[in-house]
Amino acid sequence: MKQGELRRALMVVTLLCVFLFIYLYWQQTTKLAPTLVYNYKHVYSSYKKSHPPQWTWECINQRCERRSIKGGVAAVSLATCSMLCGSTQLWPQPTGPVTLGSRAVTFNHKQFELETVANAPARTLLEKAYTSFNENVVSMVEKKDYIKEKTDISKFLIRVTILRSEVVRLKLNTDESYTIVLKYLGNEVVANITAQTFFGARHGLETLSQLIWWDDYTKGGMLKVLKGATVQDTPIFAYRGLMVDTSRNFMSIESLKRVLVGMSASKLNVFHWHITDSQSFPLVVPSVPQLAKNGAYGPGMTYAPEEVKALVEFARVRGIRVVLEVDTPAHAGNGWTWGPQEGLGELAVCVNERPWSMYCGEPPCGQLNPENPNVYDVLEKLYRDLLDLSSEYEIFHIGGDEVNLECWAQHLQKSNTLYNYTDLHDLWGEFTVKALNRLYAANGNKKVPYVIVWSSKLSKRPYLTKYLDKSNVVVQSWGASQWPDTPDLIADGYKVVVSHVDAWYLDCGFGRWRETGDAACDPYRPWQTVYNHRPWQQLHLNTKQILGGEVALWSEQLDEGSLDARLWPRAAAFAERVWSDPQLDMSTYAIQEDVYTRLSTHRDRLVGRGLSAEALWPSWCTQNPGMCL
């Protein structure tokens, strides 16, 4: 080989080595441009017109107090005073130690850089979560051209380390802990987030976004962040749920995405989607399309499989799993009437029966037919598709409450089945066992580790232990907290999810929606009632058997127009209870001022992210918190 050819060959080899090094380095550490991808319809408020400051706030005894502006003294905005004075503005309050600096620096969102120390598949999720984080920060901006202003730093580096990158599906034993170390180094802000799993890292990004705020007094408006902070955090309960019913009134996918945005901001992690009921069946089930065809309110009021799967992924990026519930054997009417025309016989009985008060708790009535074997074939197909649509194989909700035995008794008089039972609770129990067997088959002949049922007469003695296997059946206890249901279930060795109606039902208190029969669970549950409910302490329950809690929002009297206001900020108050479970003064149930101010800040945070959350109090109280309590 000639000398010139050898030189060219060495140059090619060198270039290949350089290219390989760059590629390997890029695979190990990715820096993402702060490009925002909007995956849901975000209603931002219009940019605000800048005005000269009217008030200033002074930190007095760990509290921000409003003052008139005096000449020669720099005005301090309420947002900056709140972040630098006294308590953290984090929600939910972290469980571990928190230290916060007393100084801040200005920056703009284009100075963000992400550095990941994580492998696939968690890395892909993390990049999507970073996009969501970036969007949350931009939602604070009130001045369009603020990026033209000079900032205090040259770069805002976010370094995220995930130690177990293989964990990309949330389970009850998933480690959701994280730590944040925020430092000002040279001319840069560096935020180090370390977590065992993606889910902890996502929570860390959420907390980091809550250490950032908009200061409208600085240069007409700038983003600020603390110069220094450390946070250690991990949740108390593994199951932190929120249930929304979309069967009484249909709600769009876009509105449900807003629910998930609020959940992620509050670190809730289970979206329990009560997707069908006796009123309607809006879910398009691929293997049983007749259910939606006969049960949807209209052709534009359905959830297509691809929409459900996209919502599930939208949730997962935000640290949330989706549990789909098709309630059976009761709460099953419209949508189940096509059996005779398909040669399958009556799949449901008492559908739209009148007078409804004899056959169900609210109109319209409808229950599955327990003596028709075709019902169980349909259930198996349905369960297989629900597992596939949700990609959720650890938790499955089968419903199972409020069976009206009179409905079955009237129907079974037409056959000899009625005479085989002295107690129709046994028929209910046998239906449940058959349904669980079909779930087992739909799951590839494997037990679903946690099958949830609503508390009911079947979950009481003596039927409970006869039909519900405590090794994998969990009871969602929804009765009033003073009822014996929850303590009895725990005494009998069952795991529970707490959803007490007198504290955590958010649809209550809006009056009757029909003229006859009980139709309201008054009174309204204000956020203080939601926050103060701590049943494991108040009822002296064994927390090892409590998976967590869930707030519920039934939709007889709401649709997506009032969805946000019914949920927020009350669901956020619940979120702190199941994340960090703060101590309560059991003698007075008085809530500390710090909780009011932090929740007020969080409510404003939710509004900034596009949610129409209810106000907590007059704006005057936000500006003068110590004078309202």
Catalytic, 602? Answer no
Backbone angles phi, psi at 348, to 5 degrees: -135, 150
DSSP state of 460: S
Provide CB contacts within 8 A for 20, sequence distance 6+. none
CA atoms of 572 and 558, how far apart (whole Å): 19
Q: Which of 331, 397, 411, 425 is catalytic?
A: 331
Q: For 494-522, give one letter per residue: b (16+ CB within 10 A) or e.
A: bbbbbbbbbbbbbbbeeeeeeeeeeeebe
Angle at 402 between CA 415 and CA 279, to 5 degrees: 90
Closest CA to 177 of 159, 191, 163, 189: 163
483: number of Cβ within 10 Å: 15
Catalytic, 331? Answer yes
Q: Which of 176, 245, 277, 362 is catalytic?
A: 277
Catalytic, 392? Answer no
Closest CA to 494 of 449, 443, 545: 545
CA atoms of 36 and 58, how far apart (whole Å): 36
Do residues 75 and 204 lie in contact, with contact meaning Cβ atoms separated by under 8 Å?
no
Question: Alpha-carbon torsion 536, 540, 541, 544, what sign?
Answer: positive
Reading the block at residue 592, the tokens are 């500390």
CA atoms of 331 and 367, how far apart (whole Å): 6
Write out the catalytic residue numbers.
277, 331, 402
